[in-house]
Amino acid sequence: MKKFLTLMLIGVLAVSLSCFDDDDDKDKDDPSGSKSNPIQLTIGESKSGEIGATSCDNESYSSKYYFVNITASQAYTIRLYNMSADFDLYVYKDSSYEEASLISSSENLDTTEDIVNLTDAQTSGLTKLYIEIYNGLCESSGGTFSVLVSQ
């Protein structure tokens, strides 16, 4: 009986510890379009998206992240259009989405279309482009948009 209780206790402890596995929680809390789970775009195909509200109180600004497979040393145009709110467009050379990897950006006011034109020199050596659609306005209610990558 003592051996049975010990094994039962070990089993309960193992199950309890597995509930604290950070990797499982990360997958559940990592929606499509996040920095670590960007949405794939296809060249020549428009994709609609939505970004939620932001708040100045806690500086919770929202972004939607994408990537697209490209052919190196080709010119590309990235368009952000059909916006219902003021969003900005950032294009990066790697998935860090950090300022150091920023290739180009467009930050037009209001719902004016944002366009980034990349030259063949800017895409030299790259096989992917990483795109961030950013809603950085305080107290924005969020909105919808379309994004298109073309050659």
pLDDT for the residue 29: 53
Rounded Cα distance, 9 and 27, in Å: 29
Rounded Cα distance, 67 and 70, in Å: 10
Q: Which residues of the chain have pLDDT under 50?
A: 4-28
CB atoms within 10 A of CB 101: 14
Cβ atoms of 77 and 118 within 8 Å: the answer is: yes
Q: Kindly list the structural domains of the chain, giving each domain's residue range(s) and its CATH number in brackets, ordered by start.
A: 33-150 (2.60.120.380)
pTM, full prediction: 0.78
- For the stretch 49-79, pLDDT in tens is 998 877 766 555 689 999 999 999 999 999 9
Find the farthest-apart pair of alpha carbons in the chain and give their distance in angstroms, rounded.
75
